[in-house]
């Protein structure tokens, strides 16, 4: 079966793939497509220890992980992995079971055709937020927007397929849908305008993207993914809610129950995907009030928190 999910952002949101009701059912015959912002090829120099650890973890899972690129990838490194033909299209092989689906390619999987066009404009770093030159090539790369050649390559491949595919996988939305869901907060660019053209000229069963960090059916057959892991062809409304949206934020004071007592503390760190051993709800590190220099920290489940506290 083919499954899809939204941004994993390296070792931050990949934790959504830890054992849960969807991933525990997945087998050797399954594929999981991440719709951009994979984020495990991120350090600007080399594969660092944390990247290696999670790539190894992914490679050990039963399913095969496939990803479109987003805007949070280190493109020079991503493009340096060996290129190979795979199921009718080109991939970069990161690990034998972790493959980057290259831009403009069409893959045939389980009798379904999948057109992939990664890339999107960053809204949190780089020129959009006036970052200095120093971020270029370290935390932001101009290749996040596909080149004219990559766009043309995609159109050529689509034309060869009679402008008809089963699924489209991208990181961002076509301009008109982005406008509809973000209401002017994200400016159109070459990537969204290109997708707008595809949206009107290519016949498809379902389109999946990431980028916006929530789960939403923007249209009957256009779905934005973040926390959900969906079977291809399904909508957000057909799926169960998953972890990933903590109610409380870092720095907030909260009233909570702990071993029969009610306590107040400050959220130091939210864990949206649970802890390494418990993945049934978000967890928090909560710092207790104390005269000590090193204040005690307790691990608290979201369901232990009664409410935000006005007393600090
Ligand atoms: Fe993202």
Do 274 and 198 lie in one domain? The reply is no
> Last residue of some domain: 238, 265, 292?
238
Helix (H) or strand (E) holding 66: strand 64-68
Kindly give the distance from the C-alpha atom of residue 213 to the centroid of ligand 1, in angstroms, as a whole number.
6
Do 141 and 42 lie in one domain? The reply is yes
Distance CA 43, CA 51 (A): 8
Q: Is the model's pTM score more than 0.95?
A: no
Which residues have CB under 8 Å from 203's CB, separation 6+?
Answer: 163, 164, 165
pLDDT reported for residue 276:
64
Paired tokens of 91: 């991939």
Kindly give the distance from the C-alpha atom of residue 185 to the centroid of ligand 1, in angstroms, as a whole number.
15
Residue 244 in domain: no
pLDDT reported for residue 18:
87
What is the DSSP code (8-state) at residue 146?
P
Kindly give the distance from the C-alpha atom of residue 121 to the centroid of ligand 1, in angstroms, as a whole number.
10
Which residues have CB under 8 Å from 56's CB, separation 6+?
Answer: 95
Distance CA 164, CA 192 (A): 19
Angle at 172 between CA 14 and CA 71, to 5 degrees: 60
pLDDT reported for residue 312:
65
Neighbours of 29 (CB within 10 A): 10
Q: Is 274 exposed, middle or buried (0-12, 13-18, 19+ CB in 10 A)?
A: buried
Are 242 and 260 spatial neighbours (Cβ–Cβ below 8 Å)? no
Kindly give the distance from the C-alpha atom of residue 166 to the centroid of ligand 1, in angstroms, as a whole number.
25
Do 216 and 70 lie in one domain? The reply is yes
Q: How many domains does the chain have?
A: 2
Q: Is 85 exposed, middle or buried (0-12, 13-18, 19+ CB in 10 A)?
A: exposed
Residue 139 in domain: yes
Are 2 and 109 spatial neighbours (Cβ–Cβ below 8 Å)? yes
Question: By C-alpha distance, which of 165, 46, 172 is closest to 109?
Answer: 165
Kindly give the distance from the C-alpha atom of residue 73 to the centroid of ligand 1, in angstroms, as a whole number.
10
Question: By C-alpha distance, which of 99, 97, 94, 101 is closest to 52?
Answer: 94
Kindly give the distance from the C-alpha atom of residue 49 to the centroid of ligand 1, in angstroms, as a whole number.
22
| Per-residue pLDDT in tens (0 to 9) along the chain, 312 residues | 999 999 999 988 998 998 778 998 999 999 999 999 999 999 999 999 999 999 999 999 999 999 999 999 999 999 999 999 999 999 999 999 999 999 999 999 999 999 999 999 998 888 888 888 889 999 999 999 999 999 999 999 999 999 999 999 999 999 999 999 999 899 999 999 999 999 999 999 999 999 999 999 999 999 999 999 999 999 999 987 777 778 999 999 999 999 999 999 999 999 888 776 776 788 999 999 888 888 999 999 999 999 999 876
Do 171 and 224 lie in one domain? The reply is yes
Place of tokens 């992980």: 65
Kindly give the distance from the C-alpha atom of residue 36 to the centroid of ligand 1, in angstroms, as a whole number.
7
Do 150 and 209 lie in one domain? The reply is yes
Residue 41 in domain: yes
> Last residue of some domain: 184, 209, 238?
238
> Last residue of some domain: 238, 267, 293?
238
Kindly give the distance from the C-alpha atom of residue 256 to the centroid of ligand 1, in angstroms, as a whole number.
31
Are 281 and 301 spatial neighbours (Cβ–Cβ below 8 Å)? yes
- CATH classification at residue 178: 3.60.21.10
Q: Which residues surround ligand 1, an ion (CB under 5 A)?
A: 7, 37
Domain range enclosing 286? 253-308
């Amino acid at each position: 079966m083919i499954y899809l999910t939204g941004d994993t952002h390296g070792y931050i949101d990949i934790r959504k793939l830890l054992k849960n009701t969807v991933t525990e059912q997945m087998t050797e015959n399954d594929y999981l497509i991440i719709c951009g912002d994979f984020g495990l090829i991120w350090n600007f120099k080399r594969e660092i220890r944390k990247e290696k650890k999670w790539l190894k973890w992914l490679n050990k899972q039963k399913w095969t992980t496939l990803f479109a690129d987003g805007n949070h990838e280190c493109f020079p490194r991503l493009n340096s992995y060996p290129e190979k033909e795979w199921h009718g299209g080109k991939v970069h092989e990161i690990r034998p079971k972790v493959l980057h689906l290259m831009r403009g390619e069409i893959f045939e999987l389980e009798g379904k055709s999948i057109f992939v066009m990664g890339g999107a404009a960053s809204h949190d770093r780089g020129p959009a937020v006036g970052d200095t030159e120093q971020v270029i090539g370290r935390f932001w790369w101009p290749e996040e927007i596909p080149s004219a050649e990559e766009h043309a390559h995609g159109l050529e491949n689509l034309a060869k397929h009679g402008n008809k595919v089963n699924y489209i996988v991208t990181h961002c939305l076509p301009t008109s849908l982005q406008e509809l869901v973000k209401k002017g907060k994200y400016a159109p660019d070459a990537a969204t305008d290109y997708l707008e053209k595809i949206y009107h000229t290519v016949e498809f069963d379902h389109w999946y993207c990431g980028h916006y960090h929530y789960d939403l059916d923007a249209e009957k057959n256009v779905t934005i993914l973040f926390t959900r892991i969906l079977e291809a062809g399904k909508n957000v409304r057909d799926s169960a809610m998953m972890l990933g949206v903590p109610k409380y934020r870092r720095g907030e004071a909260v009233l909570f129950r702990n071993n029969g007592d009610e306590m107040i503390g400050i959220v130091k760190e939210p864990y949206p995907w649970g802890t390494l051993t418990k993945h049934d709800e978000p967890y928090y590190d909560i710092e207790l009030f104390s005269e000590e220099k090193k204040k005690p920290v307790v691990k608290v489940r979201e369901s232990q928190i009664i409410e935000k506290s006005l007393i600090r």
